[in-house]
Structure 1
């Protein structure tokens, strides 16, 4: 995705659609699906969990026996030893049945002890992984504080080094599993000495903290809008004595550890929510097939058809993104942070839309607790907020991509200062730009898609070429100040998201056609419809990014917001006021 900010695309990273699982891995994953589905049908009760705001012990015991708390932990440490793609398939089952319970599982392994898997020393892994995978010891990820949400670098929790220990003080809020976890990945400011300058500087360090160290306590469970079954609590640390060997990663590298844990786990959200979306579509379809109004079944009305089609398009793209990323990760790639952020944004917003439309199709029944969809809607709302709010992730996508494009533009500008020594770079870049400007060269996806999709792939290529030109224009206009142009950055992020959706669905549906899958024609139709919509949105966003009208509108919106804030709310006089 970073390459599209230069008007390019590394096709080998997405074409053909990845297929990394061996036959043995597929068979083992399939052998787990039935036990997981039986658990949700016969043991778990999502309504009871929601009503009681907790999961009962029998249900949790059954989950431990399934191995659900150690899905990606190596077998040698007591886990199931699944890779990311296998994990994603089980996440779909969880997402289709109980998101509240899913948070308990996900907070435990997707982020809670994920740092130990990624950064743990052999000794740390040997000690802690058996406990959290099969020893019925819960884990949590403790990053957020009252003064630091998306700005993880501003945390105030502090750990002071004292010989062979760190003494930790501070508090964390809204910690999933915070009231039940005995192992926590905790982030705190520590004093570090710059080896070059000798200056002392505060940097975040990650720690493995056991409740048994003493000084760890928690508040009552938070009362939440949704995901009520999961435990969310404030956690307090008072003179907690942490052995120095419990530093996770390197001292002072805590921010990097935190971001990589979150980046690594984000694809799972897409997989989980694709399962949720499928459940909502199934419920809505069953209702449309059976409910009659004005002498016809709902399924025959154009507006209902449009809703079901749009819901299916969003589900297909969400699932395609999630399993593209998981399989790229499984193939050994370390560069998936932009794609993972895009997947999280797309999945959380699409799932909300799909669930909302399912309620609309059900009408009054959808608003009732009995149908089960209102619980899903409440549970879904948090996904646009936690593990990086979508607003911040959009800025992350845009700024990371711009930084990549900007470095290449800087190299080119530097080359022009000494052209004789950089003729190769100059001619190569000049040729690429000239060809792109007359509709030649640039990105060409035709050789990567089946014949039916070639016109749609061409539209996608146009979007990518325009994207690169727009980014360069904006960089030359704003230079470093582009970091302050959030309207522009959001336009770029939204265009990037749509481009990624087009690329992954074209790749996946081409694979379906090539393999002559029974769903191939339907998948091609989903891809065509998505490309028509997404290409129009992408080009519109790119136009808006450089439009004078949009710039004027942004200034007006900023002025309105400033007035509202200065007056602490609505400023207009009432319609019946005389003055």
Structure 2
């Protein structure tokens, strides 16, 4: 990779292909790790999915221990604590390839991600020594306890309290944590509570802690094989040495673990989407109507093309983000005394991108899963067919790790904070755009990938025009206009998605990649489609905030920037669909 791009900076200037990590750069070790995870899922987990779906925590624990024996729980844990000490790309590949196991992938992700990472990244040497080896092997299972009955996305509104005991040896915790994944089989809980009622702090709480109990299993729409229960703390005595990080700094851990959880969730969505399109493509070739396979019907082919394109874009985004986080963490000495705060700042740098990934990938999976069911017709509604479970399981992802609505508010909020701290010259670039709009625009090229790259640059200008107008018009009041903020977030998401696909495709074309032509077709189709949405979001914002002559001027500028290219979208969908059917799924 070239010089690392700062978080959010992609909106304000050009990014070169050398500055992004793509799946084509997986090493042989990466590919071996992915194959190990895929083979384990295919041989050990998929044949037992029905058993897991009946909620069998003992079987789930057993499978996690088997995964631990193969090193599939240890990727993020340092070697000195019996882990593998691998990069984030490796742990992402493991997560992606375990999702075919349904709820198993969720249990694995909760354990290795939000459950273990707080100790990996923020624990002291003693805490790491006591907990990480057992978490790496699967001897102990972890869970993350942040949500409460009255506080979900508003994590700092938690009511759980921690008070120091009279002898100073324990913190006494009281409160209830809600919807805790892995609760029924976890041995270690990362719990957030307010010391003295106001200092938000993280604690490591053992299962056998006196005063800790569990509520009944939640009866869920999907992810039925995962155990989800309340964790109830009634005068639970937690040793003072189990405070994780600093007292009153629990938000640093909570929010940065959520940031990692968001892009890891996006990886899980990617894996599930790949599974869904594989099932849909194979079924469409087998199912006959009117004397021929439904794969021969144009509308079925268009569905498959749109599904594959969504997957390609998602894959480009999540591995780009993983590469950014890997590069940032590689600059830190994880043994240094200030490692925790530096790690927190490094992850926070890409909080914006993590939220973008979470929203886009969860909605892409919902789309792919829904279309997979549609392609199956009535059989897609029958539980004997795996797409029925994929469809139900997919719905939670738009709620997990902060709802998509909250993440859409985080995106513009993070941009504004970076601008206020002078970390991003947002307002300066937006003002400079006004002069640029007076000049003639370069006509859109008809060269492959070139015109798509030009659309990305125009989309960035549309964002600056729109968001700049909103900030100038509304000022501090903008934070109360959630509908406007959501449209601005959608602009940002589409720009990151378009650019990720374009930069990856340029690299594939330059490398004369075997699937470069397919990548060009998917990138062209996505950019054509997304650019129309970009214009729509911008128009809605301008109509909401401006009136009269100012509105007319802004809409005229938008029309100039949003002039669409001429694209044979039907030809593109047919090209993409033909490849999906040849591969019987997604391959690039």
TM range (shorter): 0.7 to 0.9
In the other structure, the counterpart of 2:384 is 370
Q: Is the 8 A contact 1:184 1:210 kept in 2?
A: yes
Task: Name the structure 2 match of 1:563.
Answer: none
Structural mapping, 1:56-71, within 5 Å: 56=59, 58-71=62-75
**CA separation of 1:83/1:548 partners in 2, compared to 1, >3 Å: closer, same or farther?**
closer
The equivalent of 1:352 in structure 2 is: 366
Match of 1:325 among 305, 321, 324: 321
> Is 2:77 the partner of 1:76?
no
Instruction: Find the counterpart in structure 1 of residue 94 from structure 2.
Output: 90
CA distance in 1, matches of 2:101, 2:140: 21
**Cα distance, 1:408 vs. partner?**
5.7
Q: Quick check: 264-273 or 46-55, which moved more?
A: 46-55
In the other structure, the counterpart of 1:170 is 175
CA distance in 1, matches of 2:327, 2:425: 31
- Asked whether the equivalents of residues 321 and 501 of structure 1 are also in contact (C-alpha less than 8 Å), the reply is yes
Contact 2:280 2:375 in 1 (8 A): yes
The whole-number CA distance in structure 2 between the counterparts of 1:486 and 1:173 is 27
- Deviation, 1:370, is 1.8
Q: How does 1:528-543 map to 2 (within 5 A)?
A: 528-543=524-539
Matched, 1:182 2:183: no
1:412, 1:518 → 2: CA distance? 39
1:403 paired residue number: 417
Matching of residues 352-501 of structure 1 within 5 Å: 352-405=366-419, 433-439=434-440, 452-501=448-497
Q: Give the superposition deviation at 1:391.
A: 0.8
Aligned counterpart, 1:153: 156
Equivalent position of 2:297 in the other structure: 301
Conserved 8 A contact 2:222-2:393: yes
**Contact 2:188–2:204 (CA<8 Å) still a contact in 1?**
yes
Aligned partners of 2:430 and 2:465 also within 8 Å = no
Residue 545 in structure 1 maps to residue 559 in structure 2 = no
* Structure 1 residues 34 and 467, CA gap change in structure 2 (3 angstroms): closer
Shift of 1:147: 0.7
* Contact persistence 1:6–1:469 (CA under 8 A): no
* 1:133 and 2:136 matched: yes
Offset at 1:52?
Answer: 4.0
Q: Aligned with 1:537: secondary structure?
A: helix
Given that 1:5 and 1:471 are in contact with CA atoms closer than 8 Å, whether structure 2 keeps it comes out as no
- Spell out, residue by residue over 1:63-109, the C-alpha distance to the aligned partner (whole angstroms, 9 max, x if none): 232222222112221222221101111112112x1231111111112
SS at match of 1:452: coil
**Residue 336 (structure 1) aligned with residue 340 (structure 2):** no
Picking from 236, 240, 245, the partner of 2:236 is 240
Q: Which SS does the other structure have where 1:213 is aligned?
A: coil
2:51 is matched with which residue?
Answer: 48
Q: Check 1:160–1:33 CA distance in 2 against 1; reply closer, same or farther (3 A cut).
A: same
Aligned to 2:572: none
The alpha-carbon deviation at position 165 of structure 1 amounts to 2.7
Does 1:255 find its partner at 2:259? no
Matched residue SS, 1:174: strand
Separation in 1, partners of 2:426, 2:388: 54
CA separation of 1:402 and 1:539: change in aligned 2, threshold 3 A: farther
Whether the aligned pair in 1 keeps the contact of 2:215 and 2:229 (CA below 8 Å) is yes
1:265 matched to 2:261? The reply is yes
Equivalent residue of 1:370, what SS?
coil
What is the CA distance between 1:437 and its match in structure 2? Answer: 4.2
Is the alpha carbon distance of 1:394 and 1:550 closer, same or farther for their aligned partners in structure 2, counting shifts above 3 Å?
A: farther
Q: Aligned partners of 2:425 and 2:503: how far apart in 1? A: 32
Q: How many angstroms does 1:189 deviate by?
A: 0.9
Structure 1 runs (4+) deviating above 6 angstroms are 1-6, 20-23, 409-413
- Cross-structure match for 1:100: 103
Equivalenced residues, count: 520
Shift of 1:439: 4.9
User: 3-state SS of the aligned residue for 2:76?
Assistant: coil
| Bigger mean CA offset, 84-93 vs 332-341 | 332-341
Instruction: Report if aligned partners of 1:53, 1:228 keep a CA contact under 8 Å in 2.
Output: no
For residues 509 and 54 of structure 1, do their structure 2 counterparts lie closer, same or farther at Cα, with a shift above 3 Å needed? same
CA–CA distance in structure 2, aligned partners of residues 550 and 313 of structure 1: 35
Q: 1:259 to 1:42 in 2, by over 3 A?
A: same
- For the Cα contact (< 8 Å) 2:283–2:376, is it kept in 1? yes
Preserved CA contact (<8 Å) 2:8 2:352:
no
**TM-score with structure 2 length normalisation?**
0.82
- Whether contact under 8 Å (2:189, 2:204) holds in the other structure is yes
Could you tell me which residue of structure 1 aligns to residue 338 of structure 2?
none
1:215 to 211, 219, 235: 211
Distance 1:523 1:55, change over 3 A: farther
Structure 2: which 5+ residue stretches go unaligned? 330-345, 548-588
Distance 1:237 1:220 in 2: 15
Question: How far apart are 1:31 and its partner, in Å?
Answer: 2.9
Distance 1:30 1:170, change over 3 A: same
Higher radius of gyration, 1 or 2: 1
**Which of 119, 123, 126 is equivalent to 1:123?**
126
Residues 493 and 5 of structure 1: is their aligned pair in 2 closer, same or farther, counting only changes over 3 Å? farther
Q: TM-score, normalised by structure 1?
A: 0.84
User: For the Cα contact (< 8 Å) 1:402–1:471, is it kept in 2?
Assistant: no
Mapped to 2, the partners of 1:504 and 1:142 lie a distance apart of 34
C-alpha distance in 2 between matches for 1:35 and 1:410: 41
Would the alpha carbon gap of residues 302 and 135 (structure 1) be closer, same or farther in structure 2, given more than 3 Å must change? closer
Alpha-carbon distance between aligned partners in 2 of 1:7 and 1:328, rounded to the nearest angstrom = 16
Kept in 2, the 8 Å contact 1:6–1:468? The answer is no
